[in-house]
Structure 1
Amino acid sequence: MKFIFSLFFFMTAILTASSQEVISLYPTDSIPNSKPTANAEKSETQGNGRLIISNITVPTMTVFRPEAGKENGTAVIICPGGGYWVEAFSHEGTDVAKVFTEWGVTAFVLKYRLPSDETMTDKTIGPLQDAQRAIQYVREHAKQYLLSPKQIGIMGFSAGGHLAGTATVHFDDQKIANPLKTSLRPDFSILVYPVIIFNGEYAHKGSVEKLLGKEPTPQQLKYFSLETQVTKKTPPVFLVHAKDDKAVKLDNTLQFADALDKANVKHDLYLYEKGGHGFGLHNPTSDVEWMKYVKEWMFGMDLILKKPKGY
């Protein structure tokens, strides 16, 4: 009971502070693949003003809606990065969501569970369950949010890009209950300096170990090496990366783009000469705003429509 009241006051504080709706992905006592544990979630604002959240065991989505009357029926679910250790919730989440609302797009910032043997029966699928549940929830509640159920995409940064990418390629491998047989396939995907490769010299070892442990099986490495999982059913993808990224090598994006090309999946990418890793919305080394190209791509691909029928 004490935990429930603590959670209630925590959620109330968030709503009061941000005036945004916060959705619980599951009932508190029915989170799948979850071990009983105290909620040790921690939020910290760094000196640069970025909000970092750690120890996440209760997944939620924060909703950012356009001004009334400006909705265009498109939604995007945003997965912040953080190496599967933490989540960079503001500069790779809420800040990006606000830009989407200016375009008439409804944004849902996903606070997904971070993999842990202490809190999960199988930590390797916990984040993916939450991403699939987010797609399922938004699609099943499309009418409530004035959305087209056929205009729901997913976006991710760094390890959040790996999570969004996993949901992009593994939508047929359902890890959650789905009684309504709702499609878990995102209609588009936007991956920003994403972790893609889990095997070999270009793998991001920190993300691999946090998600799969110190001794992953060959089957696990292949499943989560997303460049090996692309098919002709994979939805359209937009990719962003900096060529000098030392944390997540550019080869992650290039190999994924090559796999998309071979499968004849529509995609585009924007590459910065410099910028390193984790720059979020604004690359300090360039005057180019990559989100401008995302917007052009979405309109060009009819991923943003003007008042689509039937939503």
Structure 2
Amino acid sequence: MKQLISFFIFVFMSFSLYAQDKVIKVWPNGAPNDNGMTEPEEKYEGVRVRNVSEAEMYVYLPDEKNNTGAAVVICPGGGYWIEAMDHEGYDIAEWLKSKGVAGIVLKYRLPYGNHEVPSSDARQAIKIVRRNATDWGIHPDKIGIAGSSAGGHLASTVGTHFDYGNLSAQTEVEKMSSRPDFMLLLYPVITFREEFGHMGSRKNLIGEGNNWKMVEKYSNELHVSSETPPTFLVLADDDSGVPPRNSVEFYLALKENSVPAEMHIFAEGGHGFGITKHNQPADQWPDLFYNWLKAIEIID
């Protein structure tokens, strides 16, 4: 009997885990670009996906009683060849929801030779959230973007390469701005310069070789301006996956342009810690981020 009860509890938890409020296709009428992926999408190692050819948004909305009106579009990492949807996606969204912040996990299309695909998905996701802000209880000027590792590169690409919308566009979504109002970057890939860039992410996004025009385009520390959104950076000193200098250079560029920023470099945590609890110093980042949102007046 105990075994039967345990089985039903397991089944219930399996279906209730990651219970999104909405699942939305980013390009319901077809994307303007293509990554050429024809193989079926594949999940493995828990909640990791690859062969992504259709972008989707998984929307977690907070209860009305504690809704702050803020929202975060979340870009999981994975070197532009997989996406770690659990601890760098759904788990972050669940935590944000518990704090009254809408969490929108973006399953973006992976590039597979087309470097424009991931960032076009992320910009469109921001536009979709902004278009639906009123219906979802979100303030249109409190929409941020988050990303981990290569997802941090994607988020910082959107934060440095955005548009303010096309008021003459035929659809309401395209009239919206794709500029995030703030950024959360977890141990992000920032640069594609060989000196301290993450060559795996670079290869998967822009291919092999030394196309310096493309390297410069996606070295996001070179594109910070006074219009870049306020940024919260989290990383660990012992990160052997992505050199901490990525975050440091981005922080310095933000300061050169008088953009509000806060950076936390924890002694331990390694790379890829996400929001999971490992009894490490880096586990503190969610509460620090929440307090920062208060400091920049995104939430009360």
Identify which of 192, 203, 223 aligns with 2:197: 203
Question: Cα distance 1:128–1:178, how it changes in 2: closer, same or farther (>3 A)?
Answer: farther
SS of 2:96 mapped into structure 1: helix
Provide the rounded CA distance (Å) in 2 between the counterparts of 1:33 and 1:89: 23
Identify which of 104, 111, 114 aligns with 2:100: 104
SS of 1:30 mapped into structure 2: coil
Within 5 A, what are the aligned runs for 1:232-251? 232-251=226-245
Length-normalised TM-score, structure 1:
0.85
Identify which of 71, 77, 83 aligns with 2:73: 77
CA contact under 8 A between 1:79 and 1:109: conserved in structure 2?
yes
Partner of 1:25: 26
Question: Cα distance 1:35–1:296, how it changes in 2: closer, same or farther (>3 A)?
Answer: closer
The residue type paired with residue 278 of structure 1 is G
CA contact under 8 A between 2:52 and 2:110: conserved in structure 1?
yes
Provide the rounded CA distance (Å) in 1 between the counterparts of 2:117 and 2:15: 25
1:154 aligns with 2:150: no
* 1:81-120 Cα distance to aligned partner (Å, 9 max, x none): 0000100000000001111011110110000000113xxx
CA contact under 8 A between 2:165 and 2:176: conserved in structure 1?
no
Length-normalised TM-score, structure 2:
0.88
Partner of 1:276: 270
CA contact under 8 A between 1:198 and 1:204: conserved in structure 2?
yes
How far did residue 282 of structure 1 move? 3.6
Query: Root-mean-square deviation (CA), in Å?
Result: 2.2
Provide the rounded CA distance (Å) in 1 between the counterparts of 2:165 and 2:92: 28
How far did residue 172 of structure 1 move? 3.1
CA contact under 8 A between 1:193 and 1:241: conserved in structure 2?
yes
The residue type paired with residue 32 of structure 1 is P
Partner of 1:228: 222
Question: Cα distance 1:15–1:164, how it changes in 2: closer, same or farther (>3 A)?
Answer: farther
How far did residue 201 of structure 1 move? 1.5
How far did residue 283 of structure 1 move? 5.9
Question: Cα distance 1:258–1:103, how it changes in 2: closer, same or farther (>3 A)?
Answer: same
Identify which of 133, 144, 163 aligns with 1:142: 133
Question: Cα distance 1:15–1:187, how it changes in 2: closer, same or farther (>3 A)?
Answer: farther
Provide the rounded CA distance (Å) in 2 between the counterparts of 1:264 and 1:36: 41
CA contact under 8 A between 1:274 and 1:285: conserved in structure 2?
no
Indicate the percent of aligned positions where both proteins have the same amino acid.
38
Question: Cα distance 1:283–1:259, how it changes in 2: closer, same or farther (>3 A)?
Answer: farther
Deviates more, 1:191-200 or 1:277-286: 277-286
- For structure 2, the residue ranges without an aligned partner over 5 or more in a row are 1-13
* 1:211-245 Cα distance to aligned partner (Å, 9 max, x none): 00012521111110011110011110000010111
CA contact under 8 A between 1:81 and 1:92: conserved in structure 2?
yes
1:218 aligns with 2:209: no
1:297 aligns with 2:289: no
* 1:247-274 Cα distance to aligned partner (Å, 9 max, x none): 1000000000000011110000111112
Question: Cα distance 1:114–1:168, how it changes in 2: closer, same or farther (>3 A)?
Answer: same
1:60 aligns with 2:56: yes
CA contact under 8 A between 1:283 and 1:289: conserved in structure 2?
no
Provide the rounded CA distance (Å) in 2 between the counterparts of 1:207 and 1:282: 23
- For structure 1, the residue ranges without an aligned partner over 5 or more in a row are 1-13, 118-122, 306-311
Work out the number of aligned pairs and report it.
281
